[in-house]
Chain A
Amino acid sequence: MHETDMTKALIMTVRDWYVSQPDPPTIEAIHLVVGQFTCVEPAGLAFAFKAQTHKTFLEGVPLVIRETPLIAFCGPCDRPYHPQIGLQYTCPTCGGAMEDIRSGRELKIERIEYSLEGAKV
């Protein structure tokens, strides 16, 4: 299951960030962006994250996954469209092939939300 590998990469990245901080922060949430046109299933990722962070510094930290839709851009028509995954990928107006994907391929850690014990407000 690649969700397991992806989660390993995720945890390693967050750990690198965590140990590089001058004062140990409390991680409040991790925000991911997962495109619909990737091989990653958000539910699988959430499950693997829960399993792999059990009894670690990330136990209980919410994993917030934002899904991005598949959006392609048709050059000849000079406008974006929403291909229908599983059914049709060509431009609904001119029938041109899906060549330019503008959204839906994202697989990234967007940001880490954290707080500091002694932070003065």
Chain B
Amino acid sequence: MHQTFNAALELNLLHANQEGADHNRAHFDQWGIRCLNLMSSPGAGKTALLERTLAALQQELKIVVIEGDMTTELDADRLRQYGVPVIAINTGRSCHLDSQMVSGGIHTLARDYDPQSVDLVFVENVGNLVCPAEFEVGEHAKVALLSVTEGEDKPLKYPLMFQEADCLLITKMDLAPYLDLDLAQLEANVRQMNPHVTLIPVSAKTGAGLDLWLDWVRSQVQQGAALAMA
């Protein structure tokens, strides 16, 4: 007769990605680099925020951007104007960056630039409100962006990214007066699943709120430096 057996695997489907992410983070730690992963739906303002951020910080910190544009070099070209190395990863049709893609970027970083001198790496993820949250790439902190035009219900509908975020930027605040956005409700919705998130309303257009964001970035870099000393 036919006997069946069971092999208990109990293996996470994201196991390989997680291992790769830990490996990437070990590289960053070894070089004293802080890595921030920027995630949002398409067009929420990741590249615009980075433009402002690079302009403000590039004298003060040695920054590298790993750019996960789906198919083009458009975003990378926008950012290169700030005199900062931008490593573009062609993600093909993938809806998120994974740790293996970012590992390719890290190898470029190690080959073409002096990684020991770098303080901060920004990863601009693929525009998508759902999947990037599930795929760690080796970052030390996750930054989510939600633009005011997307509506205050989005954290309830797409909770994963908001739950995982260490910092949430409400972007395009200059447009808020033209919309019926209820900012208090938006914050209450986010805090349902992430009560301790650092929430900062910003406008890349007017510059409002950017000082708070830059301070948060600086505190992240300091934490990284403190880790490297220990």
A interface residues, Cβ below 8 angstroms from B = 1-2, 5-6, 9-10, 12-13, 17, 25, 28, 32, 37-40, 85-90, 97-99, 107-116, 119, 121
Contacts and interface: CB of A to CB of B under 8 A. Distances in A.
Given A98-B163, A110-B8, A110-B9, 13 more contacts: A2-B95, A5-B94, A39-B131, A89-B156, A89-B192, A97-B191, A107-B14, A108-B13, A109-B13, A110-B10, A111-B8, A115-B3, A121-B1
Nearest to B1: A121
Contacts of A5: 94, 98
Interface in B137-175: 156-157, 159-160, 163
Interface in B11-34: 11-17
Interface residues of B, number: 36
B6 A113 contact: yes
A25 B100 CA distance: 31
Given A6-B13, A9-B13, A97-B192, A39 B4 contact: no
B193 interface: yes
A91 B95 CA distance: 33
B42 to A, nearest CB: 16
Given A88-B192, A97-B192, A112 B95 contact: no
Given A5-B94, A9-B15, A107-B14, A39 B3 contact: no
10 contacts: A5-B94, A39-B131, A40-B13, A89-B159, A89-B193, A108-B11, A109-B11, A112-B9, A116-B3, A121-B3
Contacts of B130: 39
Contacts of A17: 7, 9
Nearest to B195: A97
Interface of B is mostly: mixed
- Majority SS at the chain A contact face: mixed
Contacts of A39: 130-131, 133-134, 160
Nearest to A32: B13
A85 B163 CA distance: 13
Contacts of B10: 108-111
A23 to B, nearest CB: 11
B96 interface: yes
Most chain A CB within 10 A, of B7, B16, B94, B131, is at: B7
A108 B12 contact: yes
B16 A114 contact: no
A9 B94 CA distance: 15
A86 B92 CA distance: 30
B11 to A, nearest CB: 5
A111 B134 contact: no
A37 B157 CA distance: 11
A85 B160 CA distance: 11
Q: Which are the 4 A-B pairs with shortest beta-carbon distances?
A: A97-B195, A89-B192, A107-B13, A112-B7
A48 to B, nearest CB: 12
Nearest to A96: B195
